A and B are shown apart, each in its own frame.
Chain A
Amino acid sequence: MANLQKIYSDLDLTFRRLPVTNDVALSYDDQSVIRSVRNLLLTGFYERPFQPNLGSNLNKLLFEPADQLTSNLIESEVRNVISNFEPRVTINSINVTITPDENSFNLSMTFFVGNNTRATTVTLLLQRSR
């Protein structure tokens, strides 16, 4: 297998220290894109300064009734935020499962990063923290 060149490289927001170099940790390629998608999904409107439209409405939707309608809205919200702000991602499928007893949604999405034919899956548990 050829030594693949890293296309995407980003800072790891956990600010982990690399034990060998003592430098801050980076994330690459799929990992960096997954991190970006998670950031977008978990950012609310008006959260970032001067960019009120950046982010998604997921945190508001969690206060809606835990039913199929809300789950459809969540799916649509996810598609919107990805198509608006993450051009590297091509969505394959989104699956939102309701767990009414826990007042939460299980979001599982499969997507392709750039021209990569290998699908990447992200699973997020969306739950109200208050």
Chain B
Amino acid sequence: MASNTNINITQLDFSSIKSNFITYLQSQNTFQDYNFEGSSMSVLLDILAYNTQYNAYYLNMVANEMFLDSALQRSSVVSHAKLLNYTPKSAIAPSAEISLVFSGTANAAFTLPKFTNFTSEAIDGVNYNFVTVDAKTVNATNSTATFNDVTIKQGIPAAYRYTVNGTTNPSYKFEIPDATVDTTTIEVSVQVSSTNSSSTVYNSASNYLTLNSTSAVYFLQESLNGNYELYFGDGIIGKLLSDGNIVNISYVATDGTLAAGANNFVLMDSIAGYTTLQIFPVVPASDGGDKEGINSIKFQAPKAFSAQGRAVSKNDYITAIQQNTLGYSFDAVNVWGGEENDPVVYGQVFICLKPAGSYNLTQTQKQRLIAEVIKPISVLTVTPTIVDPDYTYIQVNASVFYTAENTNLTAAQLTSGIISSIQAWGDGALNTFNSTFNAYDLLSAIQSYNQAIITSEFNIKLQKKFLPNLSGGTTYKLYYNSPIEVGKFGSGVTSYPDLQYRDPANLSTIIDGIYIEEVPSSTYGVDTIDIINPGYGYQSSPTVTILGDGSGATATASVVNGSISKITVVNSGNNYTQAIATITPATGDTTGQLGAVVVNLQGRFGTLRTYYNNASQVKTIFNANIGTIDYVNGIITLNNFNPHGVNDPLGQLTISVTPTTNIISSSYNRIITIDANDSNSVKVIVRAKTTT
């Protein structure tokens, strides 16, 4: 036989392996029939190639599953995560807050039991069950028992009971055979035996350093089949169970995020005979989550490991918050140190959170997050502070030009499709911290929607939405974080919807239909003149000459000890778009020299006013100055803003501006987003090409 230098061993598929064998056999002459399919040699080659490929495939799969990055089987990913001390998150039940008032009760302690059942309104046609997760007791007064802010979680209470038996279950692992378990609701108690009913509550083990042989803790892990299982201490780390003990596990089995948004509930149980009650919604169901997927485990596990259960660096905070066991889930988390903040606050760390499915966290949620998630692991001298996200909404107005023959969609279908496409793009690319509005990507999102689209263009407006305080004058500063275009008449700053004010002349009269607008600015004079070199040797005030494309601006200089100390603008002039100023020593002053100044033109600030159309439809100014616009820094200030009402069901006022640039970027607590709840957030006009 020939040497085996001709055999290529790098290919792994059947046909390549077989063809390699054939190539190898060509170098010998004992067997000549290897190339004929019917030959016995070919039969052997087939078996060999099949076997080789099978082994190669198998080894490849084994190698894949050996690493967290390449593992495909959930059990492998979970196992790798276990080495990083990471337990995948279970489905999380959405929670809502309600207040309950029972009337006609005795004036005594009144208890709302744990796992009291409520049913929600229909969400997508399904009524979901909600339960209380703790018992709550209040003292009834005036024959009324009031429970404020009761947290209820979506799901159905479930329980398992295992008798410890070291022979049949030597590892003392107890599986919860339920894929819908919300592990944050698990409660475990261990009863001594079937004849001794005293029991001990076991808690989830978190900090292993504090555990000893008597710690009543359980450990949670995901088993090979994807269910969660509990196991207990070995008598050194955690208390050891003994045969005959009875492990009681109770939890809530949830449908994950499906019930988010439920806000109206009906009591399903009779509480101590009382069913007469009123239920007031406080916070709608939110913060649910589905069981953590493989990709998320691959992403989160190494980060949890690097944080080592401590919040020191920025990413430690982000990881701890994302992996909180309170059941809160977040679309985005941003953290920055007080030294980076504006204004600088040393010794604080700022945390900004965008909750999944809503805009802001409630005060209770913030307090719980700080007390139960962040404080226990943060550095002692650092104070965590949660700030609300500052949303800047982008309103997109797009025009699309298309060939009608290249699509079977109607103009209306095309329009709604493009709107969905833009909103989907906004959802993915924006809607988080540190994002950038990329005009090219937006155009690609429009263009890629349908091949009939020839070209498109768009302009954007930036919007701030807030709920004005209607009970007293408040000053608002709206940060658009982008330079604002100086408005022309009829454009520029606009507000929506209309406001109501009391008529100052007759306070019992309410004036409707009041809007905010920018005062059109047509004249630009000289605002100030800054000294960049005071010069020296001036014996008297030099002459200041303002040169530019406008007219009428004059200024004087003051001299102290031979140097220019101050420039006073006497007349601003008008119609300047550019101007410079020169300093000329006064007549007879032979020593003064080198004085230099720079001119600042007006136009950096604008004014806002309110107007309405009176009964004769004549535009009437209601208040000529309600605030200012800083065009350069993109800030709108509303001074002592005190409307009587806002013509919006939620009382929300929107103020829109046109930015000078389409490059909009966010940082710190700012989020730029396309508002999915506003039907006017994306407007598209489609126009078909005329072919004749």
> What residues make up the interface of A, taking CB atoms closer than 8 Å to B?
6-13, 26-27, 32, 35-37, 39-40, 43, 48-51, 54, 85-88
Which of B434-476 touch A at CB < 8 Å? none
In the bound assembly, the distance between CA atoms of A37 and B46 in angstroms comes to 17
Instruction: Judge whether A9 and B50 touch: CB under 8 Å.
Output: no
Instruction: Judge whether B31 and A49 touch: CB under 8 Å.
Output: no
For residue B31, give the distance in angstroms from its CB to the closest CB of chain A: 6
Instruction: Judge whether B50 and A50 touch: CB under 8 Å.
Output: yes
Q: Does B39 contact A (CB under 8 A)?
A: yes
Taking a contact as CB atoms closer than 8 A, the residue among B30, B32, B37, B43 that contacts A85 in the complex is B37
Taking a contact as CB atoms closer than 8 A, the residue among A11, A43, A86 that contacts B41 in the complex is A11
For residue A3, give the distance in angstroms from its CB to the closest CB of chain B: 16
A-B contact pairs, 25 of them (CB 8 A): A6-B32, A7-B32, A10-B33, A10-B40, A11-B41, A11-B44, A13-B43, A26-B30, A32-B39, A36-B33, A36-B36, A36-B38, A36-B40, A39-B39, A40-B37, A40-B38, A49-B47, A50-B46, A50-B50, A51-B37, A54-B37, A86-B36, A86-B37, A86-B38, A88-B36
Residue of B nearest to A39 (CB): B38
Query: Which residues of A are found within 8 Å of B29, using beta-carbon distances?
Result: 9
Query: Which residues of A are found within 8 Å of B50, using beta-carbon distances?
Result: 49-50
Instruction: Judge whether A9 and B14 touch: CB under 8 Å.
Output: no
Q: Does B15 contact A (CB under 8 A)?
A: yes
Instruction: Judge whether A8 and B32 touch: CB under 8 Å.
Output: yes
Residue of A nearest to B18 (CB): A50
Query: Which residues of A are found within 8 Å of B47, using beta-carbon distances?
Result: 49
Query: Which residues of B are found within 8 Å of A87, using beta-carbon distances?
Result: 36
Main secondary structure on chain B at its contact with chain A?
helix
CB-CB nearest 7 A-B residue pairs: A36-B38, A40-B38, A10-B33, A49-B50, A13-B40, A85-B37, A50-B14
Query: Which residues of A are found within 8 Å of B39, using beta-carbon distances?
Result: 10-11, 32, 35-36, 39
For residue A68, give the distance in angstroms from its CB to the closest CB of chain B: 28
Query: Which residues of A are found within 8 Å of B33, using beta-carbon distances?
Result: 8-10, 32, 36
Contacts A7-B32, A50-B15 known; A12 to B38 CB distance under 8 Å? no
Query: Which residues of A are found within 8 Å of B44, using beta-carbon distances?
Result: 11
Beta-carbon contacts of B37-71 to A below 8 Å, as 1s and 0s? Answer: 11111011011011000000000000000000000
In the bound assembly, the distance between CA atoms of A88 and B41 in angstroms comes to 16
Instruction: Judge whether A85 and B38 touch: CB under 8 Å.
Output: yes
In the bound assembly, the distance between CA atoms of A100 and B269 in angstroms comes to 80
Given contacts A10-B32, A26-B31, A36-B38, 15 further A-B contacts (CB under 8 A): A8-B32, A9-B29, A10-B39, A10-B41, A36-B36, A39-B40, A43-B38, A49-B14, A49-B47, A49-B49, A50-B15, A51-B37, A85-B36, A85-B38, A86-B38
Query: Which residues of B are found within 8 Å of A27, using beta-carbon distances?
Result: 40
For residue A111, give the distance in angstroms from its CB to the closest CB of chain B: 13
Instruction: Judge whether B43 and A49 touch: CB under 8 Å.
Output: no
Query: Which residues of A are found within 8 Å of B49, using beta-carbon distances?
Result: 49
For residue A9, give the distance in angstroms from its CB to the closest CB of chain B: 5
Instruction: Judge whether A9 and B30 touch: CB under 8 Å.
Output: yes
Instruction: Judge whether A10 and B31 touch: CB under 8 Å.
Output: yes
Instruction: Judge whether A37 and B31 touch: CB under 8 Å.
Output: no
In the bound assembly, the distance between CA atoms of A28 and B37 in angstroms comes to 16
For residue A78, give the distance in angstroms from its CB to the closest CB of chain B: 12
Taking a contact as CB atoms closer than 8 A, the residue among A11, A39, A43 that contacts B31 in the complex is A11
Instruction: Judge whether B15 and A12 touch: CB under 8 Å.
Output: no
Residue of B nearest to A37 (CB): B38
Query: Which residues of B are found within 8 Å of A35, using beta-carbon distances?
Result: 39-40
In the bound assembly, the distance between CA atoms of A36 and B31 in angstroms comes to 14
In the bound assembly, the distance between CA atoms of A23 and B31 in angstroms comes to 14
In the bound assembly, the distance between CA atoms of A114 and B30 in angstroms comes to 20
For residue A118, give the distance in angstroms from its CB to the closest CB of chain B: 19
For residue B54, give the distance in angstroms from its CB to the closest CB of chain A: 9
Residue of A nearest to B14 (CB): A50
Residue of A nearest to B30 (CB): A9
